[in-house]
Chains A and B, each alone.
Chain A
Amino acid sequence: MTQEVDSLSESLPGRIPSRPLIESRQLSVNFHQNEVLKDVDVSIKRGQTIAVIGESGCGKTVFMKSLVGLVKPTSGEVRFDGRNLQEIQFQELTETRRRFGFVFQNAALFDSMSVFDNVAFPLVQQAVAPNEEIEERVMRHLAEVGLPKEVARRQPTQLSGGMRKRVGLARALILRPEVVVYDEPTTGLDPIMSDVINELMLDTRRRYPVTSIIVTHDMRTARKVADRVLMFYPRHRLKPDDPQVIYDGPPSELEHAEDRRVRQFVHGEAGERINEMLQAMA
């Protein structure tokens, strides 16, 4: 009954959905003795574009992988569309994962396949379309990310970093996902190609009704593409009861955040870290 009411309210124009699409509750992840995430509470509504920022090792990639069920929480839960990912059966988890499109940091293209086969892979695995439709959809998605037809025949090793990311984006979008997750989409790219990727993310949002989660270090991407920013802080630098998400708000407010650590990150200032390094060396 509750689900019916929720889906009704989501379908009515102008209404804000009552239930978040993705939600983490008291999410904690440890790797052996290393505490990466602790008690992270985040809810993401349908249609939002969220940038997850923070310094290296703060747990943003682990957080993102937890949302898709690639990393199992040590405690707490992740809910997608109201369902706890830890409680659902394997088949349902697989179905849920297909509602996500994942763009990996280095694209994670399969080396043994051509670009065409990489992009077609999710369709072939699910056998959801005849061969002619698969070919049409692959070529259309490659064109949408600005890649010429000839690229389809190439192997991933023959592509540049920017091309690989665009192929990764085409593969992530081929199943028309509800959520697209980008893991550091502009890392390692030149400024021009970084902006191309930013524009593609914006274009994807305009073209499809997707919810986007972007894990990035790049403040330009966060400002240009996101409508909400979450900043994570490394667990080992916090006191036991400190919250790990130290900023949750619009990108326009980042510059004026009350928390000094947020401003320091946004401006790229080392601050006290230099002294810490010197002390460690001494």
Chain B
Amino acid sequence: MLSGTTAPRPTTDSDQNPDWAHNSQWAQWIVGCGTRVVHGVTMIGDMSLFTWQMLRWLMTRLPCRGTVLVTFYQVGALSLPVIALTGTFIGMVLAVQSYVQFHAIGLDSHLGVVINSTLVKELGPVLAATMLAGRVGGSMAAVLGTMRVTEQIDALTAMGSDPVHYLVVPRFLACILLIPALTVVADFMGILGGYCYSVIILGIDHAAYLSHSRDGVALFDLFSGVFKSVFFGAIIAVVSCYQGFNCEPGAEGVGKAATTAFVYSFVFILAVDLFLTIVLNSVYYSFFPNDSSFL
């Protein structure tokens, strides 16, 4: 977007170049782009340093058990119902959407293959991560942002505690250790939801449904989904805590931190998902070059 200026500009040496004078809008646009690039690179650098600081604490001294348990409860136990519920609905929606096509070619009993495979490989991990980014990531950014704005993070530092050790490490541990379990729950509930809808509502024979479903999902599929979820958990924790720590002042700043935490987490999750899927596929086919069940 170009934004021109109508106000007279003081004469400078560069005005002797007529191109500059005629292209001032372009110059501003380039300056704007440059500023955004610098801002982006600075943020990535800052976030890398932040992650490194957190990993260093993780390797040297773990936080106390009380702090960790409270965070685990908030991240894991409180996220369980919403992830189970959304997993169930996604399984049912998959059944509804796929049924028409499968019914048309007479493969109703194969419906479970596509539902289970999609859930275990992709939708389960991504859905669990999305719910966690929304419920936990946004909350983390808002809580830490409020702590930044009200000087509670400064107070921690002033009292000789390290805020990254005290506030970030427990949240990171909770996210990376609990998201695999939440992913398995999302997978299971989705499979259950898809089965219930297919058998009870759509009237598909349950023995045939189960028989075909079993063949459609390999152990590696489950592993790849759970493996990816660990990275998603790390992204949620790092991005949300970073946004909270760098929150701008005021209520608007806290709101912005929470929103940005979710948006950035989601974008990073999808980008990393693509990358990891490609890598995992390559790994799988390098070990089992003739296997087509992974497709």
Contact = CB atoms under 8 A, between A and B. Distances in A.
A275 interface: no
Contacts, number: 45
Interface string A133-158: 00000000000000000000000000
A252 B154 CA distance: 34
A98 B159 CA distance: 6
Contacts of B157: 70, 97
B150 A102 contact: no
Contacts of A34: none
A16 interface: no
B152 interface: yes
Nearest to B146: A111
A90 to B, nearest CB: 8
A125 interface: yes
B162 interface: yes
A100 B151 contact: no
A97 B158 CA distance: 6
A248 B267 CA distance: 54
Nearest to A69: B157
A17 interface: no
A109 B150 CA distance: 9
Interface in A83-102: 94-95, 97-98, 100, 102
A104 interface: yes
A175 B158 CA distance: 12
B160 A125 contact: yes
A249 to B, nearest CB: 29
Contacts of B151: 104-106, 108
A113 B155 CA distance: 14
Interface string B160-178: 1110000000000000000
Contact of A98 (B146, B147, B160, B162): B160
Contact of B159 (A65, A105, A121): A121
Which 10 A-B residue pairs are closest in the complex by CB-CB distance?
A108-B155, A102-B158, A98-B160, A108-B151, A97-B160, A94-B160, A104-B151, A122-B159, A108-B152, A125-B161
